[in-house]
Amino acid sequence: EDQVTQSPEALRLQEGESSSLNCSYTVSGLRGLFWYRQDPGKGPEFLFTLYSAGEEKEKERLKATLTKKESFLHITAPKPEDSATYLCAVQAGGNFNKFYFGSGTKLNVKP
Amino acid sequence: DGGITQSPKYLFRKEGQNVTLSCEQNLNHDAMYWYRQDPGQGLRLIYYSQIVNDFQKGDIAEGYSVSREKKESFPLTVTSAQKNPTAFYLCARSPREALRAFFGQGTRLTVV
């Protein structure tokens, strides 16, 4: 069964304190892994797509990496405005356009 | 709005009533989805559609129904058979040639 697990469930950081969020997955034939940011009461906002092991993507203070079993979202020198829930999703081969989501990591960055 | 609009933002329903949530997209994308989000849980797929007049059940379709009569519209009906309908509902779109999904701003449904 296709499955996506995110850890930790919640993370509290001081402003400037770098850290990483984890997304582990078990799917049959990964087509893509996606990271989203979600603010309270709003829809998820697309951040990155990763397609194959070894791939990396960067956007401002965020960097996403992918291995054959997991993905990391590295946050460098976070600011309070980075506080949000970060969601990971995968799309598996044979289920075109069907996405499986993890339960998210709620990040709180204190000034 | 990222090319996809959900309405209303907040919806209240009495027990035993059906209610329909609207989802409209203006980017001519083939695939559309409905997800449900509960506190502390990930998004769970209710229904998805890849072409007009065709749709498939997701993981939690019981108590819900959809239609796809037009490419730009994918309304979700929450029926009285849905035992625990209070949740945040998200609609998404995806073009055939790209894997990523783009979400609307959601509808929060509360049963009173």
Q: Per residue in B49-59, pLDDT tens?
A: 988 999 999 99
Sign of the C-alpha dihedral computed for residues A27, B45, A62 and A6 taken in this order: negative
pLDDT tens column, A32-77: 999 999 999 999 999 999 999 999 999 999 999 999 999 999 999 9
The beta-carbon neighbor of B48 closest among A34, A45, A98 is: A98
From chain A, the residues in CB contact with B97 under 8 A are none
Suggest the residue from A47, A99, A100, A105 to mutate for an interface test with chain B (most B CBs closer than 10 A).
A99
Contact A101 B35 (CB under 8 A): yes
Q: In the structure encoding, which two tokens stand for residue A107, read together?
A: 């990040």
pLDDT given at position A47? 95
Strands B19-25 and B4-7 turn out to be antiparallel
Instruction: Check whether A2 has a pLDDT greater than 90.
Output: no
Contact A31, A93 (CB under 8 A): yes
pLDDT given at position B29? 78
| Amino acid identity, position A5 | T
**Touching check for B95 and chain A: CB below 8 Å?**
no
Mean of pLDDT values over B24-47: 89
Q: Which residue has the tokens 């770098």?
A: A18
The beta-carbon neighbor of B42 closest among A32, A49, A102 is: A102
User: HEC states along B30-73?
Assistant: CEEEEEEECCCCCEEEEEEEEECCEEEECCCCCCEEECCCECCE
One DSSP character per residue, A49-86 reads EE-STT-EEEETTEEEEE-SSEEEEEE-S--GGG-EEE
Instruction: Check whether A1 has a pLDDT greater than 90.
Output: no
**Touching check for A9 and chain B: CB below 8 Å?**
yes
CA distance B84 to B47: 17
Instruction: Check whether B1 has a pLDDT greater than 70.
Output: no
Confidence of residue A96 (pLDDT cuts 50, 70, 90): low
Confidence of residue B34 (pLDDT cuts 50, 70, 90): very high
